[in-house]
Amino acid sequence: MKGDPADSVPEVLSVLVADDEEGMREGMRRILGRNGYRVDVADGGVQAIEMIDAGHYDLALVDLRMPEIDGFEVTDYIARRAGNKTVVVIVSALATVEAAVETTRKGAFDFLVKPFAPADLLSVVGRAERQCRLIREHEKYLVELDGERSLSRSLINSMREGVIVLNLRQEVVLLNPRAEFYLGIRSRPGLTSHDLGFDAGFSDLVDGVLSGETGERLVEKEMGQHHIRTRITPYVRGEEVGGAIVLLHDFTDEWHSQQDKNRFVSMVAHELRGPLAAILNYLNLILDGSLDDEPDRVRELLERSRSRGEALLELVGDLLFLNKRNAGRAEKSLEKLDLAQVLREELSFVEGHAARAEVTLSFEAEEGMFSFVADRGDMDRVFLNLMFNGIKYNRPGGTLVVSLRRTDDGSWFEVSFRDSGIGMTEEEMKNLFEDFFRVINSRTRTIPGTGLGLSTAKRVASEYNGRITVESEPDVGSTFTVLLPAGDESHG
C-alpha cells in the first residue's frame, strides 16, 4: 500500500504486528483481523524493518524486547523513515514499562502492557487509529493549505502590479517580483518600509493607514523609466487593521499621453492667443479715437482683424475636427463621389478668396470617371486645405492649377495643386506634415495659419489609404499631390 498523503484516510487501516513470540503475534493478528484491520505480522525487528521498507502501514504494534533489532530501534527507524505517518504502539512487559514510556517520548504514540485482554488491545489500537486519522486529516489540510498558499503566491507573483505587504511594525512580509523590479531591491528578511526607496513621508502615510487614521492613500512617484502610482490600503483582519497592502501600478503610458495632451493644450492656447491679442490690439487702436481722422487706416485694421478672426475660426474648426477624430467620434457618411465634381465645387467655394489674393484658379481634369467612395467632409478637409494654402502662400498675379488624373497604371486617382507661390526650401519642408508646424520666414510671417492643415489633410488621406506628396522650390512654387486608391471603392 502506497500512502499518498493527499488521499483520504482509507476505511481499512493496515497494521503491522512485530513480535518474536508467535503466540502473541498470532493472537493480535486474530483479534485485529476480526475487528476489521488488515494485519501483517513480522517475527522480529529485522523483518519489521523489511516490511516497513516494502510498504506503508498506518499502525505498527511493536514489541519492545526483540532479538537483534528491538522495539526501540524499530520505532526509531519508523520515525526516521516514515516521519510520523505510521503510528507506533509499543508492546512491553511490565518489567520494561519505564522503557516503554521512554519510547513514547521518542515517537511512539502509546504503549500496551503484557499480558493484556483483547479489549485492552482494541482500546489502544482504537486510540491509535483516531490519532492516525487525525494525522491524515492534518496532512491533507496541510497539503491543501500549501496548495492554496502556492496558488495565491504564484498569482501574486504573476501580477502586473507590484505588491508589498507590510505588517504593523512596517516590516515587509511580502514583496512580489514586480515590486522588486520597480523598487530595484531584493526581498530579504528584515526589510522594512524605510528600505523601499520611498520618500520619508511614505512611512508616515503607512502609519496613518495602519493606525486606522486614514483610509487608502495614493502616491505618485518616478522610478527610473517608470511612473508608478502607489496605493496604500489597510489590510483588515476581523475588525482591526493587521497591516498594509501597497500596490504599485505602472502608469507610464498614461503619463506620457497626459504629457502629450498638456503639450497640445499649451500649444493650442499659444496659437489662440496670438491672433486674439492682435485683434484686441487693433480694436483698441480704433476705439481710443486716435485714428478717427484716418478712415482708411481704421478700415485696414478692421480688415486685419477680420483676417485674424477668420484664421482663429479656422483653427478652432481644425481643433474640433481633430478632437472628434481622436475621440473616434467622427462618423463618416460614405457616399460615391465624383472627384471632378467635388473639386469643381470646392474651387468655386474659394473663388472669392482667390480673387482677393489676386490668384487665378484653373482646373484640368482628364476624361473619364473619378468615382470615389468617401465622406464628403473628409474630401473637403483635404482638398480645401490645399487650395487655401495654394492661394495663401502665393503672390499677387500668381496661379493655382488643380488637376485630376488617373496614374498610368490606373490604380490611383491623382489630384495635384500646383501654385506659383513662395515655395519652400528642403529644410523648410522637413516637418511639414506635423501638427502646428509652420514655416517661419519673412514672407510667411504675415500669413495667418494654424499649422494644422497639412497634418490633418495627411491623416485624413491615410484613412482612405491615400497619401500626400510635395515638391517645392523657393520663389517658383509648390505642388502638393494627393493620391487616392482608384480600384477599391469600399474603404473608409
Interface with ligand ADP (CB under 6 A), residue from 308, 419, 466, 468: 419
Residue 103 touching ligand ADP (CB under 6 A)? no
Stretch that binds ligand ADP, among 14-22, 70-78, 217-225, 421-429 (CB under 6 A): 421-429
Burial of 102 (0-12, 13-18, 19+ CB in 10 A): middle
Q: Which is nearer to ligand ADP, 228 or 322 (CB)?
A: 322
Q: Which is nearer to ligand ADP, 268 or 439 (CB)?
A: 439
Count interface residues toward ligand ADP (CB under 6 A). Answer: 22
Cα(223)–Cα(226) distance, rounded to whole angstroms?
5
Q: Which is nearer to ligand ADP, 173 or 276 (CB)?
A: 276
As a three-state string, the secondary structure of 63-128 is ECCCCCCCHHHHHHHHHHHHCCCCEEEEEEEHHHHHHHHHHHHCCCCEEEEECCCHHHHHHHHHHH
Residue 346 touching ligand ADP (CB under 6 A)? no
Binding mask 352-391 for ligand ADP (x = CB under 6 A): ---------------------------------x---xx-
Instruction: Write down the residue that cell numbers 510635395 correspond to.
Output: 470
Smallest distance from ligand ADP to CB 355, Å? 18
Instruction: Write down the residue that cell numbers 518600509 correspond to.
Output: 193
Stretch that binds ligand ADP, among 163-171, 200-208, 230-238, 434-442 (CB under 6 A): 434-442
Cα(295)–Cα(297) distance, rounded to whole angstroms?
5
Cα(322)–Cα(275) distance, rounded to whole angstroms?
20
Smallest distance from ligand ADP to CB 194, Å? 54
Q: Is 355 left (phi over 0), alpha (psi -120 to 50) or beta?
A: alpha
Instruction: Write down the residue that cell numbers 498569482 correspond to.
Output: 155
Stretch that binds ligand ADP, among 109-117, 173-181, 191-199, 430-438 (CB under 6 A): 430-438
Structure-derived torsion over alpha carbons of residues 301, 303, 304, 306, reported in degrees to the nearest 10: 120
Q: Which is nearer to ligand ADP, 87 or 386 (CB)?
A: 386
Residue 275 touching ligand ADP (CB under 6 A)? no
252 and 227 Cβ atoms separated by less than 8 Å:
yes
Q: Which is nearer to ligand ADP, 60 or 279 (CB)?
A: 279
Interface with ligand ADP (CB under 6 A), residue from 52, 350, 454, 483: 454
Residue 453 touching ligand ADP (CB under 6 A)? yes
Q: 195 vs 24, 141, 204, 220, 223, CA distance in Å?
A: 67, 36, 14, 18, 15
- Residues found near ligand ADP in the complex (CB under 6 A): 385, 389-390, 393, 419, 421-424, 432, 437-439, 444, 449-455, 478
